[in-house]
Chains A and B, each alone.
Chain A
Amino acid sequence: MEARFFFNDMGVMVGRSMRHIFRSMDTIIKVAIMPIAMMLLFVYVFGGAIQSGADNYVSYLLPGILLMAIASGIAYTAYRLFLDVQKGIFERLHSMPIAHSAVLWGHVLTSLVSNAMSLIVIVLVALVMGFRSPAGILSWLAVTGILLLFTLALTWIAAIAGLSAKTFEGASAFAYPLMFLPFVSSAFVPTRTMPGFVRAFAEYQPVTSIVNATRALLSNQPVGNDIWIALAWCVGVTVVAYLFAIRAYRRRVLSR
C-alpha cells in the first residue's frame, strides 16, 4: 500500500503546498527582506570599518546572509506544519489509505522550494550591490547543493517545532537563535578578531564551516576541509532531526 502509492500521494501533497507558496508570495518576500536589510546595513554602514581582508565585502558577506535567510524561512515551514496539526488535516490524511510518509515529505519539499526562491531574490539584490563571482558551473552546483542540504537540515528541525508546539508563537520561536548563529561565526567578520571563548564557539559551530566552504567555492579559492565538515554537519543534523520529527509526528497525530 505504502510504496505503491508513494509517488502519486507525494505528487498530490507537493501540488498542494506549491499552491500555498504561490498564493502567499508575500512570505517569500518577507523571508528575503530581513537578510537584505542586514546586507545593506553591513555593506553601506558598518562595511567601511570592518577589516575582512576581502576586496569585495558584499561577496564576503553573501554566504552568511543566505544562511540567515534560510533560518528565518523555515519558521514558515514550522508554521504550516503547526496549522495542519491544529486543523486536524494530518488526522484526516492519516485515517485515509495513503502513503503516510508522503504527508511530511510534501511539507519538506515545499520548504526547499520556497527557501530557494527567497535565496534567488537575495542573490539578485546582491548582484545589484556589486556581488561578483568568478566561480564556474561546478562550483555553483556545489554551492546549491550545500545550501539545499542546510535547508533540509533546518527544515527537519522546523518540523520538530511545528509538530510539538502548543501555540503559533512556539512554532516559530525556535528560529530566532538559528538566525543569530551567523553573527557568532565567520559570516560577518573573520573569527580571529574574537576573544578566546567566543572564537572557539565560532570556529566549531556549523555555520562557520558552511560559510567558509561556500565563500571559497564562490571566489574560486581552495575549499580545504571545510566542505567535508560542512557536509558532515548538515547530514548529521538532518538525520537526528528527522528521527525526532517522526517521533513528534507519531506523538502528536497518533495519540492525543
Chain B
Amino acid sequence: MTDSVIATKGLRKSYRKTEVLKGVDFNVRRGEIFALLGSNGAGKTTTIRILATLLRPDGGTSRVGGFDVVESPDKVRQSISLTGQFTAVDEMLTGRENLHMIARLRHLDHPRDVVEGLLERFGLADAANRRAGTYSGGMKRRLDLAMSLVGTPSVIFLDEPTAGLDPEARLEVWKMVKELAKGGTTVFLTTQYLEEAEKLADRIAILHGGRIIADATLSELKRLLPPARVEYVEKQPTLEEIFLHMTGKEAGRREEN
C-alpha cells in the first residue's frame, strides 16, 4: 500500500443524469504499467481526466504521487504528464520547437539538452526541423510521447495511446512504453484493445458499468476462467504477421517479452 503512486477510492462522476463512475477503487504501484480496460463510454477517459486534474470528481478521492487531485492539483501536476486521445502537437511548429516549448513551460534549467536527447531517443532527430504538420501519424504520436516525457515526470497517463495508429507505429509505441516502465516511470494507460493490455500491462483493471469488476495480473485473470485444455489447432499467420512480413518489419520484435 505504501508504494502505491495512484490511490483511488470510491470515485464517482456523473454528467447530467448519466452516472459514469459509480465508485471506482484501484491502486497503482510505483514503476508498473497499469492498464484500464473498458469498452467505449465505460468512463476510461473520465477517470484519466480526474487523475490528471482536468476534471473534478463528484465524490471519492484520488491521490497521485501522494497529493490529492482536488486539493492540491498544482502539486500533482509537478509529477504527472498526460498524453490525450488526440496527438496534442502544434502542427505549425517544428518537432524541436514543440519540445522546446514544453521544456520552457516546465521551467527546466537546460531545455536544449533535454530536447536534443528526446529527439535522438524518439528517432526524430532527422525530422527535428520540419513542421510537425508534415509528420506521419506514427511520428506525430512519437513526438506527442516525447513531449510528455519532458521534465521526466514520474507518472505518465496515456489515454488510448495507439488508437488510430498503423500496426508498425503501434509496436513502436508499445516498445517505448515498456522502456519507460523499465526506467522506473509509472505508466497508467487506457485501452479498448485486449491485445494491448495483454502485451503491455503488469496489471489490468476492467472498468464496466461504472465500477472496477476485475483488478489483477494477466495470469491471475486467466486463472479466473476454467483451466486451459490442450487442443491441436493449425497455426495460421495473423494478418498482422503477414503485413509486417511483407513490409519488411520483423513480427518477432513484439515477442521480445
Using a CB–CB distance below 8 Å, which chain A residues touch chain B?
1, 5, 8-9, 12, 15-16, 19-20, 23-24, 86-89, 91-98, 253-256
A12 near B78 (CB under 8 angstroms)?
Answer: no
B104 near A96 (CB under 8 angstroms)?
Answer: no
Contacts of B131 in A (CB 8 A): 23
Known contacts A15-B101, A16-B93, A87-B86, then 10 further A-B pairs from the complex at CB < 8 Å, ordered by chain A residue:
A5-B107, A8-B104, A19-B92, A86-B86, A88-B84, A89-B88, A93-B105, A96-B102, A97-B74, A256-B55
B54 near A94 (CB under 8 angstroms)?
Answer: yes
Q: Output the nearest chain B residue to A12 by Cβ-Cβ distance.
A: B104
Of A1, A95, A256, chain B has the most CB atoms within 10 Å of the CB of A95
Q: What's the interface size class on B, roughly?
A: 20 to 34
Q: Output the nearest chain B residue to A253 by Cβ-Cβ distance.
A: B54
B77 near A97 (CB under 8 angstroms)?
Answer: yes
Supply 23 A–B pairs (Cβ within 8 Å), ascending by A. A8-B104, A12-B105, A16-B90, A16-B101, A19-B92, A19-B97, A23-B92, A23-B131, A86-B86, A87-B88, A87-B89, A88-B85, A88-B87, A91-B82, A91-B88, A92-B83, A92-B88, A92-B147, A95-B80, A95-B82, A96-B105, A256-B49, A256-B55
Counting CB contacts under 8 A, is B35 at the interface? no
A95 near B105 (CB under 8 angstroms)?
Answer: no
Using a CB–CB distance below 8 Å, which chain B residues touch chain A?
49, 52-56, 74, 77-78, 80-93, 97, 101-102, 104-107, 131, 147
Quick one: which of B49, B55, B74, B82 contacts A92, CB cutoff 8 A?
A: B82
CB-based closest 4 A-B pairs: A88-B88, A88-B84, A95-B82, A97-B77
Contacts of B52 in A (CB 8 A): 95
How far, in whole Å, are A8 and B56 apart by their CA atoms in the complex?
Answer: 28
Q: Output the nearest chain B residue to A98 by Cβ-Cβ distance.
A: B105
Q: Output the nearest chain B residue to A99 by Cβ-Cβ distance.
A: B105
Q: For the complex, would chain A's binding face be called helix, strand, loop or mixed by DSSP majority?
A: helix
Tell me, rounded to whole Å, the shortest Cβ–Cβ distance linking A188 to chain B. Answer: 37
Of A24, A92, A255, chain B has the most CB atoms within 10 Å of the CB of A92
How far, in whole Å, are A20 and B90 apart by their CA atoms in the complex?
Answer: 10
Of A1, A87, A96, chain B has the most CB atoms within 10 Å of the CB of A96
Of B87, B88, B89, chain A has the most CB atoms within 10 Å of the CB of B88
Q: Output the nearest chain A residue to B51 by Cβ-Cβ distance.
A: A95
Tell me, rounded to whole Å, the shortest Cβ–Cβ distance linking A77 to chain B. Answer: 15
Quick one: which of B55, B81, B82, B104 contacts A254, CB cutoff 8 A?
A: B55
Q: Output the nearest chain A residue to B133 by Cβ-Cβ distance.
A: A23
Tell me, rounded to whole Å, the shortest Cβ–Cβ distance linking B71 to chain A. Answer: 14
